[in-house]
């Protein structure tokens, strides 16, 4: 998506070979107009997949996921990150380890908000190792719901996330695909 790539080039900062900082429009301050355009793009791409719900993982995925849900006219589910297992029959939970942040949390979904009739579109800001996405897929499959696809704002294509999600039979649609990061330099995968 050209406007997202341009925004990344003008405001994003490669801190080194691994981390792209996008605090001014995604992770800390949010650009609402860009989020609206992103929501429309995801909605157009997945319009024939019978999506009944959009889901994201708190917190930075919420703005683009909400805009996608508005465009598709379906509810948004925010998967919670809880510190330890909560014993509660009304919840689906699965452990997710973040390699980037070195943390583990229990990804949590209330049974109340999902059924086997649901076709869920998962939206997230970054795709790195694919652990969060894999955890979300596990949760919805526990609920016998169908995962309609995954929409990502920024895919770090030099990390294994995309392959990992595709191996699970899931379509991954990333709006910006980064081939390489170096301090002060950002390179995209050319789509042409
Ligand atoms: P994975 O799900 O693809 O395996 O990614 P990983 O666990 O390694 O990433 C964990 C967290 O780090 C996620 O945020 C993700 O958005 C963030 N992250 C990964 N790579 C980058 C990067 O290059 N730049 C930035 N800014 N963030 C990155 P989170 O813990 O879910 O936090 P939140 O921001 O959604 O609250």
What is the domain partition of the chain in residue ranges?
A: 2-188
State which ligand 1 atom lies nearest to the alpha carbon of 21.
Answer: 26
How many Å lie between the centroid of ligand 1 and the Cα of residue 129? 9
100 alpha carbon – ligand 1 mean position (Å) = 6
Q: What is the pLDDT of residue 89?
A: 78
Q: b/e map of 39-61 (b: 16 or more CB within 10 Å)?
A: bebbbebbeebebbbbbbbeebb
- Distance from Cα 143 to the centre of ligand 1, integer Å: 25
Residue 2's H or E segment, with its range, is helix 2-11
CATH class of 2-188: alpha beta
By DSSP bridging, strand 20-21 and strand 13-14 are: antiparallel
Asked whether residue 87 carries a pLDDT value surpassing 90, the answer given is no
pTM listed for this prediction: 0.96
pLDDT band of 192, cuts 50, 70, 90 = low
Write out residues with Cβ below 6 Å of ligand 1: 19-22, 27, 57, 59-61, 98-101, 125-132, 156, 161
Question: How much of the chain exceeds pLDDT 70, in percent?
Answer: 97
Query: Given a cut of 80, is residue 191 above it in pLDDT?
Result: no
Summarised one tens digit per residue, pLDDT across range 46-81 is 999 999 999 999 999 999 999 999 999 999 999 999
């Amino acid at each position: 998506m050209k406007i997202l790539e341009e925004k990344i080039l003008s405001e994003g900062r490669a801190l080194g070979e691994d981390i792209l900082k996008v605090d001014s429009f995604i992770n800390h301050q949010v650009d609402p107009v860009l989020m609206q355009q992103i929501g429309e793009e995801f909605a157009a791409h997945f319009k024939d997949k019978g999506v009944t719900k959009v889901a994201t993982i708190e917190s930075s995925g919420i703005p683009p996921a909400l805009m996608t849900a508005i465009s598709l006219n379906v509810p948004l589910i925010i998967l919670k990150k809880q510190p330890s297992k909560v014993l509660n029959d009304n919840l689906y939970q699965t452990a997710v380890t973040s390699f980037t942040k070195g943390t583990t949390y229990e990804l949590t979904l209330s049974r109340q908000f999902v059924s086997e009739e649901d076709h869920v579109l998962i939206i997230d800001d970054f795709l790195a190792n694919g652990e969060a996405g894999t955890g979300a897929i596990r949760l919805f499959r526990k609920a016998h719901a169908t995962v309609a696809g995954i929409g990502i704002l920024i895919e770090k294509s030099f990390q294994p996330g995309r392959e990992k999600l595709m191996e699970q039979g899931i379509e991954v649609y990333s709006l910006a695909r980064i081939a390489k990061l170096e301090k002060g330099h950002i390179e995209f995968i050319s789509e042409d």
